Chains A and B, each alone.
Chain A
């Protein structure tokens, strides 16, 4: 069974860059899209973007100017960078496999707080 695990700092200072990695186990990354989604505390879900295993990306237009998603299939992981963060970027960040227009396997999520 596919498993995903997010990792990265839980605290980021305002104006700095948030960096997270999602490690995939139990299956190859090939032929799939891989997404990042976030959820502010007590709020709903927001899709950030995805990357194809070969490197093509699509981002949410609301975040596009600040987001970079990359992939390293040799290490079975993909990464998120979100620049110039503010308190509004405080959220639980999830990674997920993307298939058939849905998100079928999710990581457990990691809380990132933006604060000085």
Chain B
């Protein structure tokens, strides 16, 4: 099983600042099979990035994804008030087919 580790656990930032979130896999992940989600309290997760770097429909261009192999990054270029949430990375392909990281909480400093 591929284990995903996310860091930091919590990121305290101010609106307008840049957020850099890390997702590290215990084994190499095919780039096409790495996704990022945003989850706000009481809501379902929302797909932000698929294929490591492709934005999902309707996702603002301040969100970007990068990385390959075992190291992936989600960057939010300038935090908007609605971006404070928990972010999960997810891999596909290794049994179980889908696994998620433990999440990074981005909160207001």
Contact = CB atoms under 8 A, between A and B. Distances in A.
Partners in one complex: yes
Interface in A50-93: 50, 58, 60-62
A40 interface: no
User: Looking at chain A, what size class is its interface with the partner chain?
Assistant: 20 to 34
A51 B100 CA distance: 19
Interface of A: 35, 37, 44-47, 50, 58, 60-62, 94, 100-109
Given A45-B45, A108-B44, A102 B35 contact: yes
Interface string B13-54: 000000000000000000011010100000111110011000
A105 B56 CA distance: 10
Contacts of B95: 61
Nearest to A6: B44
A45 B44 CA distance: 10
A21 to B, nearest CB: 17
B97 A58 contact: yes
Given A103-B45, A107-B44, A47 B50 contact: no
